[in-house]
Structure 1
Amino acid sequence: MENTQSSSEVLGLQDDQPAGERIFSSGPQRLRAMMRVLGVIVGLSSLTKLPSMLLGAFDDDGTHHAFFSSFALSFTIGIALWWPNRRGRYQLRLRDGFLVVTLTWVAASLVSAVPFMYAPPHLSFTQAVFEATSGLTTTGATIIVGLDALPRSVLLYRQVLQFLGGIGIVVLAVAILPMLKIGGTQLFRAESSGMSRDNKLTPRIAETARALWWVYVGLTALCAAAYWIGGMSLFDAICHALTTVSTAGFSTHDASFAYWNSPLLDSICIVFMLLGSMNFALHFIAWRHASIQAYFNDSELRAFLRIVLAATLLITLIVWAQQHFHHPAEAFRRAAFQTVANLTTTGYATDSFSLWPGPAPLLLVLLAFIGGCSGSTAGGLKVARVLMVLRQGLREVRQLIHPKGTFLVKLNGRQVSDALVLSVSGFITLWVTCFVLLMLGFNAAGLDLGSAFGATAATITNLGPGLGAVANHFADVGTVAVWMGTLGMLLGRLEVFSILVLLSPMFWRE
C-alpha cells in the first residue's frame, strides 16, 4: 500500500485539532522537542567548517585551527541540545512551526559566525553575525573589504554558507512554509506548477527534500563545469557555482564578475541565475518526465521571463541614450547581466550600477522587490504574489465598471480563492510596513535617506548591494545599522510572518 503519511506528520508538526482529539504533552516536553530539532540543525551547521578546515590545512594558511575549533564548538552544542532530548515523542503543532523555523535560522547564523571572528578577517561579533546571516539567507551583502587578500579557506567558507542556505530556502519554500500557510505560500506548492493537489512532488517532505537536493546539486555541478570551461580557475568556478544557482552573490573577488570582464562568463552566469530563480518543482518535473513542457505551462515563469526581457531593454535604452556605454552591444550586455542579477536578487555585478545615469540604479533596485519565482532560491516578494495582486487590482477596476459582473483571479488557468488573495494582500501589506520601519530605523542609525532606502532594499529583498553608502558593502555603517541589516535579512528570508507572528501575545497563549 502506498505510504500517504502527511508532510506535517513527517516534520513532527500537527494541525490544531478539537481539544478532545489533541494529544498534548506538558510544556517541558514541548521545549524538549524544539531543543531536539535545534540540536540537529546546529550539529549539521558545524559540517560547513570541514571543507575550509581541510583547505586551510592543505594551503597551510594558519586558518585550519580556527575552523576546527569552531567545528568542535558548534558540534558539541548540537550534541548537547540533541542527546538529552533524542527520545522525546511530543508532536509539535503547526503553530510551533513558526518558532522552530525562526529559531533554526537564528541558531544557524550564530554558530556560523564563529569562524569569521577567529580567522581572517577577524570580524567583531556583530560583523560576524551579519556576514554569516547574509551567507545563509543568500543575501550577499558583505561587511568585508579586501576579499582578494583573504585565505582561500575563508573565501570557500562564505560560498559554502550560501550554497547550504540556498537548498534550505528551497525546502523551506516548497515544503514547509506552504504547510504553515504563510503569506499565500499555498500557491508555491508543486501544484502551482500545474500538478493537482493530491499529486505532490513526493508523499513525504524527506523525499521531496531529497529530490530537490539532487536537482540543486546537479545544477550547481553543471554551473561549475561551465565556469571552468569558460575560463575561470577551478577554485573560482566551484566557489561561484555555489553562489550562482543559490542566487546568493558572494564572490571571491571585490570586483565580482568584473574581475574577468568576459562576455562568455557573463552569459553562463545569466543562464544559471535564471535557473536558480525558477520554481525548483518545475526542474524536478522536467527531469522526472524528461520534458520541458512544464516550463511552458507555468504562467508565473512566463511572466518572470517577460519582466526580464522588458527590464533589460529599458535599462539598455537608458544607459545607451545617456552614453554611459557608447556601443549598443556593450550597453545590452551590461544591462542584461545586471537586470538578471538584481531581479533574481543574486547581486553579482560587472559594473557599479549605482553610478549608472538617470533612473537606471533605482529601477534595478526596484526589480529586487519583485524577485524570482516562488519555490526558488530568489528573494523579493515573488512573481506569483505580484501577479495576483495586480490581477486583483484589475478585477476591482472591472467590478467598478460592471457592478453586477463576476470576475475571477486566476493563476495557471485556475481560479484563486478570495481567501488566498486576501492572504497575499495581507502579506504584502506587512512586508511594506516592515520595509518602511526598517528604512526609518536605518535613517535614525545615521544613514541618509537614499542610503537608508538602499540598505533596506538590499537586506529585506535579499539582494545584497544597495545604494548610497551601502552600494558595495556595509563596512562603513555603524553597529546599530549592521544589526538592523541582520534583522532585515532574516525578515525577508523568513517571509516576515514567521517572525512577526512570534510578537503576537496570542501566539504564546495555549
Structure 2
Amino acid sequence: MTSWTAHPSTRLHRFVAVQRITGFLLMIFSFTMVPPIVVDQLYEGTTTGPFLTALWITFVTGAVIWWPARKERAELKTRDGFLITVLFWAVLGIFGAIPLILTHAAWHSYTDAIFESVSGLTTTGATTVARGLDDLPHALNFYRAQLHWLGGMGIIVLAVAVLPMLGVGGMQLYRAETPGPMKNAKLTPRITETARVLWLVYVTLTAVCGLVYYALGMTAFDAVIHALSTLATGGFSSHDASIGFFQNPILEWAVMLFMLLGTINFATHFAVWRSRSVRSYWRDSEFRTSLSVILLFSALVALPLILTATFSDPLVSVRKSVFHVISYGTTTGFTTSDSSVWPSYAPLMLILAGFMVGCAGSTSGGVKMVRLMLFVKQAMREVKRLVHPSAQLPIKLEGKVVDDAVVYAVGGFFSVYIGFTIVLTFAMISTGLDPVVAFSAVSACINNMGPGLGPLAGSMAGVSEAGKWILIFTMLLGRLEIFTLLIVLNPGFWRRW
C-alpha cells in the first residue's frame, strides 16, 4: 500500500532529503550577490549595502533550511527532482528580488521586484522599469543580466555538477530542468560531466560574444551585459533603446549571430566542440528547420515594411525584419526599433515566431522546433493512415525512429500549451487589458520572450498588480515547460509520495 498514511517515516525521510538539497542550493545562490558588489565598487559604490544584506539573508535562510537535514543521504527519486526544481525556481524568484527592492532604485513594490527577478531567471526579459535603464547603477544592470545568464542554462544544471558533494544523484534534477521532449540523452556517460560540459561551452560562447561586442564598439561594461543576455536569450539591456541605442548595423548582425548560437541545442555545440568542425550545425535537422522558418518569417515581415516605406531604405527594412524575427524567434527580445507599431500583420508575425523557432536543449523558450517538427510529422502520418489504414508508418527524426510515446507526449504538450495560453489570455483580459495586448503579454511570458505589443512593447509597468502575478506564474510555467510545474501541483503527486 502506498497511500498518504502508509509510510510516514519514509515520507518524512524523503522531505528531509529535499530540504537538504534546497537549502544547500540556496546557500550557493547567495554568493551570486558578490559579482554585483564588485561592480558597484568599481563604479558608483551606492548599492553594496543592499547586495550584502541580500547575500546574508539568502545565505542564512539556506543554512537554516539545510542544517537540520545536513546528514541526510537519501538517493533522489524522479519526483524529488521535479519538486526541488520547482521549489528552487520559486524560491530564487523571491530571494533574487531582495537586492532590487532594497535599493529603492526602480522597483517600488515587492511585486515589481519579484516580477523583475523571475523575468531575469526565466530569461524572459520583460521588465517593470518603464524608463531609466540608462541611469540605473551599474551593479543593478549587471545583476539583471547575471540573472539571465544563470537562468539561461539552468542553475539546477549548474548545481548538478556539485551534487556529488551532497551524496545524491543528479539525473533527476537534469531531467526536470532540461528543456525539450527527449530528456534522457546525455552528452557524456556521467551526468555531472554532462553539466560541466554544458557550462564550459556556455562560458566560452559568452566570452567570445563579449569580446566581439567590445571590438565592434561597445564599452567593456555594455559588452559584458549584452553578452550575458544574448547567450541566455534573455534580452535585458542597460539601455532603454536596447540594441537600437548603439546605432551600429555591423553590431546588429553580430547580435543576430550570437542570438542564433544561443538558440541552438547545446548538444550540437558540444558536437562541434568535440569534432572541431562546424558541419555538425548543418547536420542538425532542428536547426536547419529553425533557420528556414526564420528566413520565411523575415521575408513575410519585410514585405509590409518595404511596401509602406516604413524605413526609407529597403535594405534597412530587410535588416530590421531579420533582426526582430531572430530576436523574437529565439525569445531574446532585443530590439532596434518599436516593432509594435509596424504595419499590417508584422507585429503578430513576430509574436508567432516566439512560439516555434527555439531549439530543444537551448536557452530559448517557446514550444521548441523539434516538437513542432514531430507534431507536423504526426499530422502527416494520420493523413496517410486514412489512405492506408494498415500501413506501418514510423516517424523518423535524423534517420532514427522516434518512439510513439514521445510523439503522443508532444501532442499532449501542444494541447496543454495552447490551452494555457488561451486561459491565461482571458485572465489578463479580465485585468483590463485589450485582447490583443493581453494575448501578446501571455505569449511574451509563456514563451519567455519579453516584449509584448502596444503599451507593453517596452515595459510591463502598466500591468496591474494582479496581472503581474498572473504573468509571474506564466513565466515560471513556460520556463519549466508546463509539465514540471503541473506535476507538482497535481494532488496525486502528493498522495503517492
Per-residue displacement from partner, 1:264-283 (whole Å, max 9, x unpaired)? 11011001000010000111
| Secondary structure at the counterpart of residue 154 of structure 2 | helix
> Are the counterparts in 2 of residues 354 and 361 from structure 1 also a CA contact under 8 Å?
yes
**1:142 aligned residue (124, 127, 135):** 127
Distance 1:394 1:96 in 2: 38
Check 1:394–1:175 CA distance in 2 against 1; reply closer, same or farther (3 A cut).
farther
Q: Which residue matches 1:358?
A: 344
2:293 partner letter: I
Q: CA 1:170/1:341 → structure 2, altered by over 3 Å: closer, same or farther?
A: farther
**Is 2:431–2:467's contact at 8 Å kept on the other side of the alignment?**
yes
- Superposed CA deviations along residues 447-488 of structure 1, whole A, max 9, x for unmatched, are 111111011001000000011231211111110001011000
- The alignment status of 1:250 with 2:250, answered yes or no, reads no
Residues in 1 aligned to 2:240 and 2:32: alpha-carbon distance in whole angstroms: 23
2:30 aligns with 46
Task: Map residues 102-501 of structure 1 onto 2, 5 A cutoff.
Answer: 102-119=86-103, 120-145=105-130, 146-168=132-154, 171=157, 179=175, 185-186=181-182, 188=183, 190=185, 200-501=186-487
Check the 8 A contact 1:184/1:420 in 2, yes or no: no
Query: Within 1, Cα distance between the matches of 2:77 and 2:171?
Result: 16
Distance 1:348 1:171, change over 3 A: same
Q: Using the alignment, how far apart are the partners of 1:54 and 1:228 within structure 2?
A: 20
**1:59 Cα deviation from its structure 2 partner:** 2.3
Tell me the amino acid that sits aligned with residue 125 of structure 2.
Answer: G
The one-letter code sitting in structure 1 at the alignment partner of 2:33 is: K
Contact 2:243 2:252 in 1 (8 A): yes
Cα deviation 1:247-286 (Å, max 9, x = unaligned): 0000000000110111111011001000010000111111
The one-letter code matched in structure 2 to 1:131 is E
1:332 shift after superposition: 0.9
2: CA distance between counterparts of 1:268 and 1:343? 16
The residue type equivalent to 1:124 in the other structure is: S
Counterpart position of 1:15:
none
The structure-2 alpha-carbon separation of the partners of 1:508 and 1:131, relative to structure 1 and needing over 3 Å to count, comes to same
Deviation sequence 1:307-363 (CA, Å, 0-9, x none)? 111111221122111211232210111011101001000000001111000100000
The Cα of 1:392 is off from its aligned counterpart by 0.6
Sort the Cα spacing of 1:184 and 1:274 in 2 relative to 1 into closer, same or farther, 3 A.
closer
Assess if the C-alpha contact under 8 Å between 2:180 and 2:368 holds in 1: no
Instruction: Write the distance in 1 (CA, Å) between the matches of 2:75 and 2:395.
Output: 37
In 2 relative to 1, CA 184–220 (structure 1 residues): closer, same or farther, beyond 3 Å? closer
Task: Provide, for residues 4-55 of structure 1, a one-character-per-residue CA deviation record: whole Å limited to 9, x for no partner.
Answer: xxxxxxxxxxxxxx99xxx996222211111111112211221221111122
Deviation at 1:176, TM superposition (A): 5.3
Which segment drifts farther, 81-90 or 447-456?
A: 81-90
The one-character-per-residue Cα deviations of 1:168-223 (angstroms, maximum 9, x if unpaired) are 1794999657745999722x554xxxxxxxxx411222111111111000000000
Equivalent residue letter for 1:185: P
Aligned match of 1:90: 74
Residue 362 to residue 97, structure 1, CA distance change in 2 (3 Å): same
C-alpha change, 1:142 and 1:49, in structure 2 (3 Å) is: same
Distance 1:446 1:429 in 2: 26
Amino acid of the residue matched to residue 142 of structure 1?
A: T
Q: How does 1:5-24 map to 2 (within 5 A)?
A: none
Alignment-derived partner of residue 196 in structure 1: none
What TM-score comes out, normalization by structure 1 length? Answer: 0.90
Give the one of 47, 52, 67 matched to 1:68.
52
Q: Report which stretch shifted further, 348-357 or 399-408.
A: 399-408
In structure 2, runs of 5+ residues without a counterpart are: 161-169
The separation in 2 between residues aligned to 1:76 and 1:479, in whole angstroms, is: 30
* Aligned-CA RMSD value: 2.3
Number of residue pairs the alignment of both structures matches: 481
Contact 1:369/1:461 (8 A) holds in 2 = yes
Secondary structure of the 1:363 match is: helix
Question: Which region of structure 1 is more displaced relative to structure 2, 158-167 or 120-129?
Answer: 120-129
Q: AA paired with 2:17?
A: A
Greater than 3 Å deviation, 4+ residue runs: 169-184
| SS of aligned partner of 1:26 | helix
Counterpart amino acid of residue 327 in structure 1:
D
In structure 1, list runs of 5 or more residues that go unmatched. 1-17, 191-199
TM-score, with structure 2 as normaliser? 0.92
1:12 is matched with: none
What is the alpha-carbon distance in structure 2 between the residues aligned to residue 177 and residue 299 of structure 1?
27
Residues 1:273 and 1:184: Cα distance change in structure 2 (over 3 Å): closer
Closer, same or farther in 2 for the Cα pair 1:169/1:71, shift >3 Å?
closer
Contact kept, 8 Å, 1:182 with 1:497, in 2: the verdict is no
